[in-house]
Amino acid sequence: MKASITTLITSRCCLDLSPAGLIRVVSPFDAVTQAQLRQIRPRGRWNGPARGWEFPLAAAGVLQQQFGRRFAVTAALEEWLAWSRLPLPPLPQHRQLVAAADLKQNLPDGRTPLLHQRSGARWLLARRGAVLADEMGLGKTLTALLAARAMVRCAEVRVLVVAPVGLHPHWRREADAVGLSLQLVSWARLPDALPAAGTLLVVDEAHYAQSMKAQRTAGLLRLARHPRLRAIWMLTGTPMKNGRPSQLFPLLAAIDHPIARDQRIFEERYCQGHWREGKAGKRWEAAGVSQLEELRRLTRPLILHRRKRQVVDLPPKQRQLHPIVLPDDTSIGFDHRVDLVVEDYRRRAQLGEVRSDAEPLAVLTAMRQIAAEFKLSAAEQLLYQLHQQGHAVVLFSAFIAPLQLLHQRIGGELMTGRQRPLERQQSVDRFQQGKSNCLLATYGTGSLGFTLHRARHVVLLERPWTPGDLEQAEDRCHRLGMGDGLTCHWLQLGPADQLVDGLLASKAERIEVLLGPRRQSLERQSLPAMVRACLQVA
């Protein structure tokens, strides 16, 4: 009887490989085993949803020594452990890699890498894990490929690029320009493993992995922690899109930054991590901001963030605010639409269909969408004036319905998430080739990796919630190769727009504290207070 119980427990105990590339210790609850796991170093972390402890691969030896007789090792983990016992040969020294990069040579297509691209390639070659966070439009793709070419010339390495599907043609063109062979995969189809020879992983639009709860983040971390990985270079113009350090943590974990090896400690120190009592019990929250100056100092060696004004002589970008005042009769119609939304939400809250405490945010979102429709007349007039002057214009909105209405009135190119990637690229090509002078796009599609520098004017029907999305949209047009300056027109109607614009300024200030070239102090603003003030005015 005792032997059968022991066999049953052993069959339920194992050391496995988690989706994020950590060692998962699976076992039924046992006070002695739990106490032993807490003593393991490097430290592990209890993963409640997975019902097991998770440890970095560096803890494999201690775990096997402590539990090897009782815990089976799965085949997937055994393969990783076998590779760890046979490490890859060291890479050449930095000066050899830089010499092999041929950074001063012209490319086959006649281009000459710019000074900041050459220095960026040298910076990458000195690091096995790094985040290249240059502003949009500075040519991060070419910078990374120049460094990758040097790596391939000096070592047995294959190049794997993770990028959104819509950017694959751009990566292929740039790779052909530098004479580099690479493999492209999308964020939706990340591989589970890497070949034995060794891989350089280049991750484009790395801000796609800013949530530790997302499956694609786990898939990326699994590749980043793979024993056959040579180096990982993350590319993003917005490493902290919403101004929260919690969004930066997955990127730091992927490059194995020391401060990201313990998520709980990171969240306690930089994200105001704390337990909060709720109806369903305690819940861990880590969405705050703290110790930004210290975080800035510790991350600067592995995050390179340069602004256009620092490294290139681009034409200036300026913003013009267009306040809109509705006529009295139109204003009554606007208020009536908002009242209907409030009444409907409260009715659904009484039926238990929605949360009653989420009413302010729901009303605010509805106000933004309604305001976007009421701004169409002003937007149409502005577009007409710009077209009369011979300008090409890109207009962004977060909502599809206003874009469709505007497209019916003025025509042009319409680009939304309902189109296939090929159709979006065709719309961009027609606009860039001068076949159309107006491109109407949602933030989620038009601001993703496309080059729209033919436009000299960008109209924002309303602003997105995050500074990262705002910069992605505006800087699609403010890029290398543009001629004259860029003017960004902000249409503003009512307190909802004023609130979001204020939030953007507050979040952008946090990002500047972390990534900016100089130290700054941070003046905090309370989001709940701002929302309440907005709704009171409305």
Of the candidate ranges 47-51, 196-200, 297-301, the one whose mean pLDDT is the lowest: 47-51
Q: Does residue 239 contact residue 251 with C-beta atoms inside 8 Å? A: yes
In a shared domain, residues 185 and 77: no
Q: Tell which wins on pLDDT, 478 or 262.
A: 262
What is the CATH number for 298? 3.40.50.10810
- So what's the pLDDT on residue 374? 93
Flag whether 341 is in a domain. Answer: no
- So what's the pLDDT on residue 63? 93
Of the candidate ranges 3-12, 141-150, 253-262, 282-291, the one whose mean pLDDT is the lowest: 3-12
Average pLDDT over residues 410-417: 92
In a shared domain, residues 105 and 246: yes
In a shared domain, residues 387 and 483: yes
- So what's the pLDDT on residue 103? 93
Average pLDDT over residues 477-486: 75
Over residues 331-344, the pLDDT tens digits come to: 888 888 888 988 88
In a shared domain, residues 139 and 34: no
pTM for this entry: 0.79
Average pLDDT over residues 185-205: 94
Domain end, chosen from 454, 470, 492, is at: 492
In a shared domain, residues 48 and 101: no
Residue 42 lies in domain: 2-84
Instruction: Out of 60-74, 88-102, 465-479, give the one with best mean pLDDT.
Output: 88-102
In a shared domain, residues 100 and 79: no
User: Does residue 49 register a pLDDT over 70?
Assistant: yes
Domain end, chosen from 33, 49, 84, is at: 84
- Residue 301 has what DSSP assignment? G
Assign residue 481 a region: left if phi > 0, alpha if psi is -120 to 50, beta otherwise?
Answer: left
Average pLDDT over residues 350-379: 86
Flag whether 512 is in a domain. Answer: no
Alpha carbon distance 408, 184 (integer Å) = 37
User: Does residue 529 register a pLDDT over 90?
Assistant: no
In a shared domain, residues 14 and 100: no
In a shared domain, residues 43 and 124: no
Flag whether 351 is in a domain. Answer: no
DSSP 3-state assignment of 281?
strand
- So what's the pLDDT on residue 157? 95
Flag whether 44 is in a domain. Answer: yes
Flag whether 537 is in a domain. Answer: no
Domain end, chosen from 84, 110, 145, is at: 84
The residues, ordered by sequence, that sit 6+ positions from 426 with a Cβ below 8 Å of its Cβ are none
In a shared domain, residues 272 and 395: no
User: Does residue 425 register a pLDDT over 80?
Assistant: yes
Of the candidate ranges 273-287, 484-498, 513-527, the one whose mean pLDDT is the lowest: 513-527
- So what's the pLDDT on residue 482? 67
In a shared domain, residues 108 and 225: yes
User: Does residue 5 register a pLDDT over 50?
Assistant: no
Burial of 358 (0-12, 13-18, 19+ CB in 10 A): exposed
In a shared domain, residues 109 and 239: yes
- So what's the pLDDT on residue 7? 40
Q: What is the mean pLDDT of the chain?
A: 87
Percent of the chain predicted with pLDDT > 90: 55
- Residue 349's CB is within 10 A of a number of other CB atoms, namely 16
Alpha carbon distance 428, 432 (integer Å) = 6
In a shared domain, residues 150 and 230: yes
Average pLDDT over residues 239-268: 92
- So what's the pLDDT on residue 481? 65
| Strand order from edge to edge, sheet including 14-17 | 45-47, 52-55, 23-26, 14-17, 72-73
Alpha carbon distance 425, 442 (integer Å) = 14
Q: Provide the total of helices (H) and of strands (E) in the chain, helices listed first.
A: 22, 19
Across 56-90, b (16+ Cβ under 10 Å) vs e yields bbebbeebeebbeeebbbeeebeebbebeeeebee
- So what's the pLDDT on residue 511? 66
In the chain, the number of structural domains is 3
One-letter amino acid at 317 equals K
The residues, ordered by sequence, that sit 6+ positions from 245 with a Cβ below 8 Å of its Cβ are 266, 270, 271, 289, 292, 295, 514
User: Does residue 247 register a pLDDT over 90?
Assistant: yes
Flag whether 120 is in a domain. Answer: yes
Flag whether 524 is in a domain. Answer: no
What is the CATH number for 416? 3.40.50.300
Average pLDDT over residues 140-154: 96
Flag whether 181 is in a domain. Answer: yes
